[in-house]
Amino acid sequence: MHLNLKPRRRRPKLSSSRLGASISLLVFTIGLPILSVLGIEFLERGNFHDTMQWITGNQPLFLLNVGLTFSLLAFLYAIVGSLAIAGSLSTLILGLMAIISYMKVKMIGEPFFPWDILLNKESMDIASLVTGKAALIRIIAVAVAIIAVLLLRWVIPKVRVPMIARVGVGLFAVYALYAFGIKTPLAGKILDHAGVNEIVWDQQENYVNNGLALAFTLNVKNSIVKKPDTYSEQSIAAAAASIQEANTQGADVKSAKLAKGKQPNVIFIMSEAFWDPTLLTNVSFSADPLPTIHRLQKESSSGYLLSPQFGGGTSNVEFEVLTGNSMSFLPGGSIPYQQYVSKPMPSLASYFADQGYKSMGIHSYEGWFWDRNTVYKELGFESFKSSEHFVNPETKGYFISDAEVARNVIDEVDKTDNPMFIYTVTMQNHGPYDDPRYGENQFKATGNLSAQAKSILETYTQGAHDADQSLQMLIDHFKDSDEPTMIVFYGDHLPMLGLDYQVYKEAGFISTSDANKWSLDEIKKMHSIPLVTWSNFDMPKQDIPLLSDSFLGAHVLDMLHLEKPANFALDAELAQQVPGLLNNLIVDPNGQLHKAAPETAASLITEYRNVQYDLMFGKQYLADYVDHDYLTKGTQADYNAEFGDAQAASAKSEADGNDEKPASAQ
């Protein structure tokens, strides 16, 4: 009888113990993902009120973020077999994502993308460039959270789960992460039911609306470029034949040998966030902030470019102009400089190098930015002068001034014997503009604007005026030069004038802050950038109503009467039928706006897409049929040698100087 009583006395204790363990595990596996999402959104948004407002107002999105975080936890548990260790690892991963995203937004207005993981070390070294209390608090908070979760290892009941069950949990977690990352049909239905709105053209807003975990996961599919169904050697052969026929018809085109038999310098100036603020409706200014631009619009070839970007993504505009390729055929939110340009790629830089030019890139910011140090080499530049190579540069506001950039362009042209192709990118007027960083702004805005919107607009306008004056500085120098020179000046995208398009909305330039509800005309306005040209030799004036950035290179070659290489010849042919090409807007030659390509241009657009895929990802069939040397050209062997030698000399000089100092001084 006594033996029979022992199990009866133990069963309640065993049952209670198992119940307690089950409750503890349930609380941990559900509670930790909830707290993780709460924590990373707090780190991302900066205050508890906005975080709770997002959670309470977007419960389906919050639950999706929790589900993805749970899947990460489950996957890690399947690997390590310890909930506490898996929890600390997931906290570490999510915390790092939140911190990096916070720092990236502070630096360049873009959140953390999946493809950022593949960047070179120098391109990921954002932490050293962002200092301050806010960043330090976030780092400490994540570290404390990791330690706290790890300490739960001695609190959470130890439960042995059979290996087969762990494998099942891991497989389920992997499938869940895969399904949302690739957006399978089932995942797509869930996302639609939850009301997910993926804003690929404004990734900062995409992350704010959908949450970090969900937005990051949805961007995974944007790392994958699918081969077009129409791509084959036969389709590329047909494209090559079309290109050759177009070149034959334009065989009378001659090389640009101008005054005194010299080839002209060709200087592209892509001015950071340059736009014409006088285009705002219901707003006026105390004086004209862009006198040079407005004069050139009357006197020289000018018009508007259709940018694939708004508020950020400068390198994507560079990519379109330099390569003639279109962002319309790449995944939304992708960054070609960081993802796809890892081998030599034909561009304007390599083309002009073949014509005897010195091709140089100039940018008044660090060379790692957007991975330009390596990308410019792959695009065929001979050298790249980034801010590290500016000597005692003048700054204005936060960055090197536009006037300093103009002086560097002049210096490089004047000291170089060969004609130059220069692609210049400025930085002075980079956002944000909520801090009146230029002091007392010269141009006062009048209109139905809030005090905050008025301050933002006036700060931006002062910077735009400085850009205008830097262009005038270049004109003043080259108008008296005996070297024929052409300048092509434009912006990369419209500026981000406050959150939720604040200035544009208050000024009545757009009807709503919801970009998904914009009309085609509003989409066009929010992507149209002023383009002006100038030359110190005679060129017929042309009016350019609207032209995609990807077609600008071909247009400039035509203006210079230079024979176009294969890909730019195809650009010119397509631009005649579809001058404006975005993934959500098509502009025909009559200026009519369409959501999709007209039937008359569909086959040529398909040809354009096939050629782009062939050059970037495919078998490079095109080089077998036309322009083989240009299309297969490698990088320049002495890329950046002039600045490498200067760096070596500087390092040697510094070392010699240190040798002469007493040890205490070193």
CATH number at residue 494: 3.40.720.10
Is residue 90 in some structural domain? yes
Interatomic CA distance for residues 662 and 666, integer angstroms: 7
Q: How confident is residue 222, by pLDDT bands cut at 50, 70 and 90?
A: confident
Give the residue-averaged pLDDT of 73-89. Answer: 86
End-to-end CA distance of the chain: 88
Structure tokens at 623: 């080089």
Is residue 4 in some structural domain? no
Q: Which has the closest alpha carbon to 551: 592, 598, 599, 612?
A: 612
Q: How confident is residue 200, by pLDDT bands cut at 50, 70 and 90?
A: low
Is residue 260 in some structural domain? no
Are residue 75 and residue 140 in the same domain, yes or no? yes
Name every residue whose Cβ is closer than 8 Å to that of residue 19 and which is 6 or more positions away in sequence.
none
Q: Which of 5-9, 260-264, 509-513, 544-548 has the highest mean pLDDT?
A: 544-548
Question: What is residue 168's DSSP assignment?
Answer: H
Are residue 168 and residue 276 in the same domain, yes or no? no
CA 483 vs CA 89, 443, 471, 505, 556: distances in Å: 62, 36, 17, 46, 18
Backbone φ and ψ for 545, nearest 5 degrees, come out as -55, -50
Does the pLDDT at position 85 exceed 90?
Answer: no
- The CB-based long-range contact list for 185-188 (8 Å cut-off, 24+ gap) reads none
Higher pLDDT among residues 579 and 246, named by residue: 579
Is residue 257 in some structural domain? no
Is residue 647 in some structural domain? no
Are residue 194 and residue 272 in the same domain, yes or no? no
Interatomic CA distance for residues 414 and 460, integer angstroms: 32
- 305 forms beta bridges with 529, 547
Does the pLDDT at position 253 exceed 80?
Answer: no
Reported as a single tens digit per residue, the pLDDT across 286-303 is 999 999 999 999 999 999
Interatomic CA distance for residues 269 and 426, integer angstroms: 8
Higher pLDDT among residues 483 and 145, named by residue: 483
- 265 forms beta bridges with 485
Interatomic CA distance for residues 38 and 414, integer angstroms: 57
Range of the domain at 277: 267-640
Reported as a single tens digit per residue, the pLDDT across 431-462 is 888 888 898 889 999 999 999 999 999 999 99
Mean pLDDT of the chain: 85
Question: What is residue 492's DSSP assignment?
Answer: S
Higher pLDDT among residues 555 and 86, named by residue: 555
Structure tokens at 96: 């790092």
Reported as a single tens digit per residue, the pLDDT across 325-370 is 999 998 877 889 988 998 999 999 999 999 999 999 999 998 888 8
pLDDT for 17 equals 54
Structure tokens at 179: 């399904």
User: Which region among 22-36, 92-106, 183-197, 541-555 has the lowest average model confidence (pLDDT)?
Assistant: 22-36
pLDDT for 26 equals 67
CA atoms within 13 A on the CB side of 72: 25
Question: What is residue 279's DSSP assignment?
Answer: G
pLDDT for 192 equals 87
pLDDT for 319 equals 97
Cβ pair 569, 554 in contact under 8 A: yes
pLDDT for 106 equals 67
pLDDT for 133 equals 67
**432 upstream amide cis, omega within 30 of 0:** yes
Q: Is 25 exposed, middle or buried (0-12, 13-18, 19+ CB in 10 A)?
A: middle
Does the pLDDT at position 523 exceed 70?
Answer: yes
Does the pLDDT at position 659 exceed 90?
Answer: no
Are residue 461 and residue 584 in the same domain, yes or no? yes
Interatomic CA distance for residues 297 and 113, integer angstroms: 39
Are residue 386 and residue 457 in the same domain, yes or no? yes
Are residue 543 and residue 397 in the same domain, yes or no? yes
Cβ pair 430, 407 in contact under 8 A: no
Give the residue-averaged pLDDT of 182-200. Answer: 84
Give the residue-averaged pLDDT of 567-578. Answer: 95
Structure tokens at 602: 């569909």
Round the CA-based radius of gyration of the chain to a whole number and report it: 29
Q: Which has the closest alpha carbon to 529: 307, 322, 297, 321?
A: 307
Cβ burial 612-647 (10 Å sphere, 16+ → b, else e): bbbbbebeebbbebbbeebbebebbeebbeebeeee
Give the residue-averaged pLDDT of 63-68. Answer: 92
Does the pLDDT at position 580 exceed 90?
Answer: yes
Instruction: Write out the DSSP string of 458-474.
Output: HHHHHHHHHHHHHHHHH
Report how many helices (DSSP H) and strands (DSSP E) the chain contains, helices first: 25, 15
Are residue 587 and residue 493 in the same domain, yes or no? yes
Instruction: Give the rounded percent of residues in the chain with a pLDDT score beyond 70.
Output: 86
Question: What is residue 560's DSSP assignment?
Answer: T
Is residue 564 in some structural domain? yes
Is residue 180 in some structural domain? yes
Does the pLDDT at position 182 exceed 90?
Answer: no
Q: How confident is residue 404, by pLDDT bands cut at 50, 70 and 90?
A: very high
Are residue 127 and residue 50 in the same domain, yes or no? yes
Is residue 655 in some structural domain? no
Give the residue-averaged pLDDT of 402-424. Answer: 96
pLDDT for 159 equals 66
Are residue 498 and residue 579 in the same domain, yes or no? yes
Q: Would you say the pTM of this structure is higher than 0.85?
A: no
Q: What is the 3-state secondary structure (H, E, C) of 343-393?
A: CCCCCHHHHHHHCCCEEEEEECCCCCHHHHHHHHHHCCCCEEECHHHCCCC
Interatomic CA distance for residues 277 and 462, integer angstroms: 10
Interatomic CA distance for residues 189 and 428, integer angstroms: 45
Does the pLDDT at position 31 exceed 50?
Answer: yes
pLDDT for 658 equals 39
Does the pLDDT at position 138 exceed 90?
Answer: no
Give the residue-averaged pLDDT of 632-646. Answer: 84
Task: Point out the domain boundary residue: 188, 208, 223.
Answer: 223
Element (H, E) at 532: strand 528-535
Interatomic CA distance for residues 208 and 55, integer angstroms: 11
Q: Which has the closest alpha carbon to 36: 110, 106, 127, 97?
A: 97
pLDDT for 266 equals 97
Task: Point out the domain boundary residue: 223, 253, 281.
Answer: 223
Does the pLDDT at position 10 exceed 90?
Answer: no
Are residue 279 and residue 386 in the same domain, yes or no? yes
pLDDT for 123 equals 42
In total, how many domains does the chain have? 2
Distance from chain centroid for Cα 323:
16
Instruction: Give the rounded percent of residues in the chain with a pLDDT score beyond 90.
Output: 53
Interatomic CA distance for residues 260 and 265, integer angstroms: 14
Does the pLDDT at position 634 exceed 80?
Answer: yes
Interatomic CA distance for residues 119 and 339, integer angstroms: 8
- 547 forms beta bridges with 305
Interatomic CA distance for residues 356 and 349, integer angstroms: 11
Does the pLDDT at position 124 exceed 80?
Answer: no
Are residue 345 and residue 282 in the same domain, yes or no? yes
User: Which region among 106-115, 207-216, 358-367 has the lowest average model confidence (pLDDT)?
Assistant: 106-115
Q: Which has the closest alpha carbon to 292: 123, 143, 117, 472?
A: 472
Are residue 399 and residue 294 in the same domain, yes or no? yes
pLDDT for 254 equals 45
Does the pLDDT at position 664 exceed 60?
Answer: no
Q: What is the 3-state secondary structure (H, E, C) of 492-521?
A: CCCCCCCHHHHHHHHCCCCCCCCHHHCCHH
Structure tokens at 412: 């490089």
